[in-house]
């Protein structure tokens, strides 16, 4: 049985269709049993979909500045 931590570590490979068949089966079994992880996968799918629809021109200047500042602050804390 796959753990939640293992599932989170494999989510990118799963969404890219790059898991080996046996790992994919374990992953999907876990999702079927763990509502939290199933919700997490759906959130990741939605995030990828929405992020793909954003282009640089659609971001207001003040939002871009706020985001850049937030990333700089986060990076300085590492």
| Residue range 8-36, pLDDT digits in tens | 999 999 999 999 999 999 999 999 999 99
Q: Domain map of the chain by residue range?
A: 4-76
Task: Supply the DSSP string of 17-39, one letter for each residue.
Answer: T-S-HHHHHHHHHHHHH-HHHHH
pLDDT at 4: 96
What pLDDT is attached to residue 54? 84
- Contact predicate 62/45, CB 8 Å: no
CA distance 11 to 41: 7
CATH topology of domain 4-76: Arc Repressor Mutant, subunit A (1.10.10)
Q: How far is CA 54 from CA 39, 51, 58, in A?
A: 23, 5, 7
Dump pLDDT digits (tens) for 50-67. Answer: 988 888 888 899 999 999
| pLDDT band (50, 70, 90) for residue 77 | confident
């Amino acid at each position: 049985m796959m753990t939640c931590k293992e599932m989170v570590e494999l989510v990118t490979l799963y969404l890219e269709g790059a898991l080996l068949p046996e790992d994919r089966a374990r992953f999907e079994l876990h999702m079927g049993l763990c509502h939290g992880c199933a919700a997490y996968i759906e959130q990741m799918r939605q995030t990828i979909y929405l992020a793909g629809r954003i282009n640089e021109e659609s971001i207001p200047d003040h939002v871009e500045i706020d985001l850049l500042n937030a990333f700089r602050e986060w990076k300085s804390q590492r």
